[in-house]
């Protein structure tokens, strides 16, 4: 049973058939999936969702596929952790971490969007899947394509570090390194998507792809026992995730699964070296002014975000705010998250926590209301960011005496025998 | 061929008539589909129609003049 009604232009509202289309022919606005909400309302209940397996497809009526998912059956339902140690450190009462650093199979939230994109692409008859990426998206497309036996192409800028390519090459994906400026790589990717009949996940399949992010929001609401958080902080790259979390909350409210959305505020986080959306929010501008990224948070380094305008709109609509964080603050926050909660997030997670700290300090987020921090990727993938930033371990010879000396120097009392 | 692009004019170029010039210099039909121009930034959604080489030349012309040319999808390298 399909609940997809049509594709609909976000600007002018024109409807299009549910095919591989992504731009409105009339106003060039982006297309979005519209659902048959009346029918969903009749057939989907909280109880039905609760009985289903713990993965993102438990919300399948609200995801844009017509049959069963054909890849990524295990994606999602990542932990929502009550972060008591971190809460103490930040001086707040009720803090949660939604942890997609452990999402299956490639340890980032991209597995959500990619498994929807590829499942939908297969339904539409595509044989080859592609993307242009410098990191998480590449890993996820390569892995998920491999898992369902599809051919995949991944386009990368030629100066990308070797270590970043390995996590894509290992899946047998055809990786093409493009020589040129970032803008040239970007334009060529769009041309290839237009010329070859491939499922380019974040171009011609984008309306379906982006919907996968809603599951991040659905899960938070369900894991909070069918309540919405009062405050949620979300990292912004292209800006799609924050808009889809908001859409998820709104859909749950419309279906009667949660209430009180007017009390929920959504906050956007970017790195100071790439903060076009934050700038727009702070200056009250409708326009997103493109920037040239310069930050260690590579997974957020999108200078001209496709959903920038819509992200700023969601932030305003929910009475939220946006902030950015410097490289130094990002590293400190990554360490704080790891040391207090045992969660090693990628640099983007550092951005989100650092921004949360700032918003609390500014009084924008009150200390006594529920707060969710969105962690979208795993720190093991961006270890180079910590190079030289951690105290290296002391080296001793294989001698108990030397170890005793070391313990003594730590000035801590341990119960030792003899 | 038909190509859809976004042009971003920096502040100092906002007043320049590049679209007119491109249509005069190359065999392309320029069709403005959306635009937002202020004194500090110009954004134009433009459709270019013509032979592929002519479309390419027009795009390079914009780039040489200092205008940022992007696909209608904006940044797709994620």
Distance CA A115, CA A63 (A): 11
The rounded percent of chain A whose pLDDT value lies above 90 is: 89
Q: Do A238 and B38 touch (CB under 8 A)?
A: no
Closest residue of chain A to B10, computed from CA coordinates: A289
Q: Do A306 and B74 touch (CB under 8 A)?
A: yes
What is the model's pTM? Answer: 0.95
**Distance in Å, alpha carbon of A20 to nearest chain B alpha carbon:** 14
Q: Which of A14, A17, A10 is nearest to A32 (CA)?
A: A10
In the predicted structure, residue A94 carries a pLDDT above the cut 80:
yes
Q: What is the pLDDT averaged over residues A164-191?
A: 90
Q: What is the pLDDT of residues A34-68, one digit of tens each?
A: 999 999 999 999 999 999 999 999 999 999 999 99
3.30.70.260, 3.20.20.70, 1.20.120.1200, 1.10.40.60: CATH of B2-71: 3.30.70.260
Question: From the candidates B7, B41, B74, B77, which should be mutated to test the interface with A, based on the most A CB atoms within 10 A?
Answer: B77
Tell me the CATH number for domain A110-209: 3.40.50.1100
Of A23, A134, A287, the CB nearest to B77: A134
Distance CA A243, CA A252 (A): 14
Of residues A250 and B43, the one with the higher pLDDT is: A250
Closest residue of chain B to A182, computed from CA coordinates: B77
Q: What is the pLDDT averaged over residues A186-200?
A: 90
Q: Which residues of chain B are within 8 Å of residue A202 when distances are taken between CB atoms?
A: 73, 76, 78
Q: What is the pLDDT of residues A112-155, one digit of tens each?
A: 999 999 999 999 999 999 999 989 999 999 999 999 999 999 99
Q: Do A131 and B68 touch (CB under 8 A)?
A: no
Q: Do A302 and B72 touch (CB under 8 A)?
A: no
Q: What is the pLDDT of residues A68-83, one digit of tens each?
A: 999 999 999 999 999 9
Q: In what order do the strands lie in the sheet with B28-37?
A: B28-37, B42-50, B2-9, B68-71
Copy the structure tokens of residue A208.
Answer: 């379906």
The pLDDT assigned to B67 comes to: 95
Q: Which residues of chain B are within 8 Å of residue A23 when distances are taken between CB atoms?
A: 4, 72-73
Tell me the three state secondary structure of residue A57: helix
Q: Do B69 and A134 touch (CB under 8 A)?
A: no
* Strand blocks (E) in chain B: 2-9, 28-37, 42-50, 68-71
List beta partners, residue A98.
Answer: A80, A374
Q: What is the pLDDT averaged over residues B47-72?
A: 95
CB hemisphere CA count around A227 (13 angstroms): 11
Q: What is the pLDDT averaged over residues A322-345?
A: 98
Q: Do B36 and A189 touch (CB under 8 A)?
A: no
Copy the structure tokens of residue A402.
Answer: 């030397």
CATH architecture type of domain A80-106+213-386: 3-Layer(aba) Sandwich (3.40)
Mean pLDDT, rounded, of chain A: 95
The pLDDT assigned to A418 comes to: 63
- B13 touching A (Cβ < 8 Å): no
Which helix (H) or strand (E) segment holds residue A32: the answer is strand A31-35
Distance CA A341, CA A2 (A): 41
Q: What is the pLDDT of residues A20-34, one digit of tens each?
A: 999 999 888 999 999
So where are chain B's domains? 2-71
Q: Where residue A166 falls among pLDDT bands split at 50, 70, 90?
A: very high
Distance CA A240, CA A32 (A): 11
CB hemisphere CA count around A356 (13 angstroms): 33
Q: What is the pLDDT averaged over residues A217-225?
A: 98
Copy the structure tokens of residue A393.
Answer: 């371990």
């Amino acid at each position: 049973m399909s609940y997809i009604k049509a594709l609909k232009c976000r600007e002018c509202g024109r409807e299009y058939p549910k095919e591989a289309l992504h731009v409105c022919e009339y106003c060039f606005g982006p297309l979005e999936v519209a659902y048959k909400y009346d029918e969903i309302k009749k057939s989907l209940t909280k109880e039905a969702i609760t009985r289903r397996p713990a993965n993102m497809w438990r919300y399948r009526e609200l995801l844009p596929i017509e049959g069963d998912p054909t890849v990524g059956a295990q994606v999602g339902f990542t932990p929502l952790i009550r972060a008591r140690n971190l809460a103490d450190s930040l001086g707040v009462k009720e803090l949660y971490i939604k942890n997609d650093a452990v999402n299956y199979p490639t340890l980032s939230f991209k597995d959500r969007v990619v498994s929807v994109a590829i499942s939908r692409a297969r339904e539409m008859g595509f044989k080859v899947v592609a993307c242009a990426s410098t990191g998480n998206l590449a890993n996820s497309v390569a892995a998920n394509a491999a898992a369902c036996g599809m051919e995949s192409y991944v386009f990368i800028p030629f100066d990308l570090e070797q270590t970043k390519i390995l996590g894509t090459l290992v899946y047998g994906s055809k990786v093409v390194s493009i020589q040129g400026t970032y803008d040239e790589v970007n334009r060529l990717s769009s041309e290839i998507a237009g010329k070859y009949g491939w499922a380019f996940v974040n171009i011609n399949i984008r309306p379906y792809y982006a919907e996968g992010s809603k599951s991040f929001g659905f899960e938070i609401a369900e894991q909070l026992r069918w309540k919405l958080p009062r405050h949620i902080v979300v990292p912004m790259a292209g800006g799609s995730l924050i808009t889809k979390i908001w859409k998820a909350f709104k859909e749950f409210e419309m279906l009667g699964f949660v209430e009180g959305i007017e009390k929920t505020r959504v906050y956007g986080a970017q790195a100071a070296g790439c903060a076009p959306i934050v700038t727009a929010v702070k200056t009250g501008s409708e326009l997103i002014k493109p920037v040239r990224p310069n930050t260690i948070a590579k997974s957020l380094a999108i200078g001209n975000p496709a959903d920038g305008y819509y992200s700023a709109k969601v932030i305003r609509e929910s009475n939220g705010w946006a902030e950015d964080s410097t490289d130094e603050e990002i590293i400190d926050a990554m360490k704080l998250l790891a040391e207090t909660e045992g969660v090693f997030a990628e640099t983007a997670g550092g951005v989100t926590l650092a921004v949360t700290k700032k918003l609390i300090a500014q009084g924008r987020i009150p200390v006594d209301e529920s707060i969710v921090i969105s962690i979208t990727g795993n720190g093991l993938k961006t270890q180079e960011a910590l190079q030289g930033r951690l105290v290296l371990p002391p080296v001793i010879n294989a001698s108990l005496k030397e170890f005793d000396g070391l313990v003594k120097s730590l000035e801590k009392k341990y119960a030792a025998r003899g | 061929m038909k190509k859809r692009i976004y042009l971003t004019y920096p502040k100092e170029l906002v007043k320049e008539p590049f679209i007119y010039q491109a249509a005069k210099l190359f065999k392309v039909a320029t069709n403005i589909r959306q635009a937002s121009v202020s004194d500090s930034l110009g954004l134009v959604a433009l459709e270019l129609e013509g032979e592929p080489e002519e479309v390419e030349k027009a795009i390079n012309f914009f780039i040489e003049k200092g205008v940022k040319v992007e696909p209608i999808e904006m940044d797709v390298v994620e």
